[in-house]
Every structure is written in structure tokens, then in C-alpha cells.
Amino acid sequence: MAYGKLEVVCGPMFSGKSTEMLKHAVWHIHGTGSRIMLLKPAFDVRYSETKVVNHDGIGFDAIPVTRMPEVPADVTAVFIDEVQFCCAPHYEGDLVEDVRGLLARGVQVAVAGLDMDWQGRPFPVTAALLAMADKVFKLRSRCAVCGVDATKTFKKQRNDRRVELGQADLYEPRCNAHWHDHSQRPGVELALEI
């Protein structure tokens, strides 16, 4: 049996991560005619409880999860959105080990998620999956201040919560310069360790 391949789609908010992953899912279905599973963290209810939905409102049915479900033998690919949320307290178990198990069975896996939080710290689950990836799609958005490529997520309403569900009301993409200017204001500390 062949070992599966892992693809990771990452970047800041509003960079098209879910859209890119959904395109890969559609390509897989149409290209192979195979059965897939589309998963999303049950914690993420911003647009839908039972769909992966991009910021433009385009969505596909998905299984909301708090742990890895049984993956039937006829499923050839698993797609997981918002992987940064697949950790305690929102996910039971170890998603990285779950993905390793799927790959060992020959299942193709594609995930999408934020690579860094609003403080510039890597999300551990995403970082581990990036290290394991056979292929990485690092997406960019447009800086909400100046319009150049954005690789960071800026949090508009300041508090110390690392994970807080939100949309454009709470977050916006920023280029390094405009994100860095914000991060250096008094009272804001950056912790770059994992």
C-alpha cells in the first residue's frame, strides 16, 4: 500500500485558505471519482455548524468534529479546514498523530489553517503539519492598510485571548510593516516561542 500525501494550505485570515482547500477537494472528486471526507472543527460555527464555508459564502457539507471520526476504507482523501482549532480544549486527541495514521493507510490528506496567531506565534498543530507536508501552499492576502501582500493577521479588538472566533469585525490582514507597527505599541508583547 502506498503512503498518503499531505498538503497544507496556510496563511493569514482572508487569504483564501478554505477556498483553495475546497478546490483541491473538488479536483480530487472529479479527477479520481473517489469518495472523500470533509471535516471541520465543531468549535468553528462562524458561518455554519455543518459546512466548510469561505468568506464569500461558498460552502460544502462537512462533518463537525471534536476528534477524528472513523474513516471508512473506501475514503481515499480527507480534507480538514481550520486545523489551528484542532487542539485542546476543542479537539480530543492529537490531530498530528491522527493525520499520520491516515497517511500510513494510504489516505491523501489536505488541511487548511492559520499558520500564525494575531501575535505572530505559530499555531503548534499547523506548524507540525507544515513540517510533515509533502506540499505547502502559503497564501497571502492584501493589507487592509496599504494593499500590499499581507502575511499576518491583525486583531482589531485587543485582549489576551489567543483563540477568539471572529470575522472581519475582529480581524484583518496586514503586511509586515503595518502589523509590526501595531505590535510595537505600549502594552503589546510578542511571544515568538511555541
Task: Judge whether residue 57 has pLDDT over 80.
Answer: no
Residue bearing cell 478554505:
18
Residue 166, annotated ligand binder?
yes
* Domain ranges (residues) in the chain: 6-139
| pLDDT bucket at 52, cuts 50 / 70 / 90 | confident
Residue 3, annotated ligand binder?
no
- Which residues are catalytic, by number? 82
Residue 20, annotated ligand binder?
no
Following CA atoms 147, 177, 162, 91 in sequence, which dihedral angle do they give, to the nearest 10 degrees?
60
User: For residue 97, what pLDDT is reported?
Assistant: 98
Structure-model confidence comparison of residues 48 and 76, the more confident one: 76
Tell me the mean pLDDT in the region 101-129: 95
Residue 47, annotated ligand binder?
no
Mean of the per-residue pLDDT values of the chain: 85
Residue 113, annotated ligand binder?
no
Model pLDDT for residues 144-180, shown as the tens digit of each residue: 999 999 999 888 777 776 666 656 667 889 999 998 7
Task: Judge whether residue 189 has pLDDT over 60.
Answer: no
Hey, which residues does 98 pair with through a beta bridge?
A: none
- Domain covering 6-139, topology: Rossmann fold (3.40.50)
Strands (E), 105-192: 108-114, 135-138, 141-142, 149-150, 152-155, 171-174
Model pLDDT for residues 2-18, shown as the tens digit of each residue: 899 999 999 998 999 99
Q: How far apart are CA 163 and CA 180, in angstroms?
A: 20
